[in-house]
Amino acid sequence: MHNSDVIIFLFTKGGQSDGRGMEIEHIFSTPFLIWKSIMIFEEESDGRRYGSELILDELKNLEEHIKVAPVSVGDEEALLETIESQLVNFLSEYARVVPKDSRI
């Protein structure tokens, strides 16, 4: 995770979130990893997110520091659009580095 450019966690209604606990705990306790993490949660129309209670509770403390995106349950097209838009937004936040010899 330390060498990755971006970390995406996907929480779905039918998925199991227990296996991701150690990785997410590590991210939550490592500020260097928080800024490059994106968490996408399937969400019911009433706003209920799918994910373990432990993760959802901890996320309340970090939500202003970590990127979180909701997607409607079972809407695969919206899920793909959400992933794509989150990645585009993430990349747009990087400063553009132009080589010294470049004439742009």
Identify the pLDDT of residue 25. Answer: 84
pTM greater than 0.75 (yes/no): yes
pLDDT computed for residue 84 by the predictor:
95
Task: Note the pLDDT tens digit of each residue in 77-91.
Answer: 999 999 999 999 888
- AA letter at 54: L
Q: How confident is the model at residue 40 (pLDDT cuts 50, 70, 90)?
A: very high
Most confident range, picked from 16-20, 24-28, 44-48, 99-103: 44-48
pLDDT of residue 99: 60
